[in-house]
Amino acid sequence: MTNLTVQYLQMEMLLQQMGINKTFVNVPMENLTMEDINRFLQSLNLTKMLEIDMDKYLQEPVTIILIILCIMALCTNVLSILATTHVPSNIFTAHFRLILSLAASDIFTVFSVVVHIMNKALNPPLLFHMHTKDERLLSACGFQFVVSLNVTAHLISLLNLFAMAQDHYVAIMKPLHYNQIMTSSRVKLMIVALWGIAILGGFSNFYAGLEKPPELEKFNMCERALYSNYQAEYLLILLTVLCFLGITVIYITLYSKIKAMDKFPVAVMSKNKMHNKKALVTTLLIIGTFGICWLPDMFFELAMIIQVHVDASKVKDFLVVFVQANNYLYILLLCNSLLDPIIYAIRLKEVQLGYISFLSKHSTYFRRMLHQRRLNRQSSQSLSTEHTRTSVVTNSDHRNSASLLGKKTNTNEETGDFQKLVSVT
């Protein structure tokens, strides 16, 4: 959930279950005293109810699915990174560096989900009036750390997609200057800047906890951060809207540019157009899976923030449903991390060549396949060179024939004119 209020709503539900009337429950939690809590502590250990049976939690279907998806997403992205680093250097452009960054962000998403599972199992929430603020520090900061990791993973994936859109824009709109604009040093600096912005934005919640307003003096730093008016989700929502607007404008512009290429039916232009179309479709598939898998989580966070501020009682009534929905949203995030490397492996021949090059170090079968591909490429290049040479020779012959024909025509015309002049004379 997005606010520590949910933990206190759990406390309110337990109070109701213990027979405490609704009027008492609606009293703000900070007004409760230890004397109030002692009414039912004598017969029941409330803290025990909030502890999670780790064995039971790990056997839940949702948790099992999360663990399996984590392992699969981690393996596929590690393989994708290894394959991309084995792409031949002569075709290793800035786009492949961005693919590496996107794969790293998918691994970061896996890490955030693993931390979420561990924090839920090993670091249960502690109730406000049953523990001191120092005792509650680890619980509150663990919860806040998970939220920050989630926001950071969302931001870096989003910023990577925006950078890929810009890379396509330069490649299509300024193809002759692409290598001068998207240099290796500039792309590395851009990736570092994207990760820096994502980390600062994702963990910006903690900055709000540094303030110590009088009404929150009984709270520790992480609890103050969770109770502050600022939430990192606000920044996430703003950047999501801006990036998707920018991506939409960029791809509409590129689509118009590619359509305009139809007016130039040259073989080389046609080849570049097909390559650009395939690259665009691949990136659009990545953006589409991102939207399907990440936007529901963002809308869920936004709805929770609004609901907590408008009518927190509704959150209390459907708390179990909201917690379960949050688990399914984590499954969606892992599906996105799993799909990204699969899409690149299927769509991009350069990445496929990287896989073969990497696997050839460990398998004779792939070594033979890599050797055959090199032979095919050399044969294709020689045929292309021969075709180009033949075309040049043919064009040269045509020009020479035309020149001779022109000279012959001029000579005939001059001879005819001379004969006419002699006859007149």
Structure tokens at 7: 């933990």
Q: What is the pLDDT of residues 367-396, one digit of tens each?
A: 787 777 776 666 665 555 555 455 444 455
| Burial class (CB within 10 angstroms; exposed 0-12, middle 13-18, buried 19+) of 15 | buried
Q: Residue 189: is its pLDDT beyond 90?
A: yes
Lowest mean pLDDT: which of 76-85, 183-192, 198-207, 289-298? 289-298
Average pLDDT on 393-406 reads 49
What residue ranges in 88-142 does DSSP mark as E strands? none
Average pLDDT on 30-54 reads 48
Average pLDDT on 191-211 reads 90
Average pLDDT on 39-50 reads 46
Q: How confident is the model at residue 190 (pLDDT cuts 50, 70, 90)?
A: very high
Mean pLDDT of the chain: 75
Q: Which residues fall within 8 angstroms of residue 288, CB to CB, at 6 or more apart?
A: none
pLDDT for 381: 56
pLDDT for 206: 87
The answer to whether the beta carbons of residues 107 and 82 sit under 8 Å apart is: no
Q: Which residue has the higher pLDDT, 312 or 193?
A: 193
Q: What is the pLDDT of residues 89-102, one digit of tens each?
A: 888 888 899 999 99
Average pLDDT on 85-89 reads 88
Structure tokens at 361: 């170090």
Average pLDDT on 76-88 reads 93
* DSSP state for residue 133 in the 8-state scheme: T
Among 11-15, 104-108, 132-136, 145-149, top mean pLDDT goes to: 104-108
pLDDT for 53: 61
pTM to 2 decimals? 0.74
CA dist 99 and 216 (Å) reads: 44
Q: Which residue has the higher pLDDT, 300 or 196?
A: 196
Q: What is the pLDDT of residues 268-318, one digit of tens each?
A: 444 555 556 677 788 888 888 888 888 887 787 777 777 766 776 666 666
Lowest mean pLDDT: which of 69-78, 227-236, 393-402? 393-402
Q: What is the pLDDT of residues 350-369, one digit of tens each?
A: 888 888 888 888 888 877 87
Residues 241-246: contacts with CB within 8 Å, 24+ apart?
Answer: 243/158, 243/159, 243/161, 243/162, 244/291, 246/162, 246/165
Average pLDDT on 22-44 reads 44
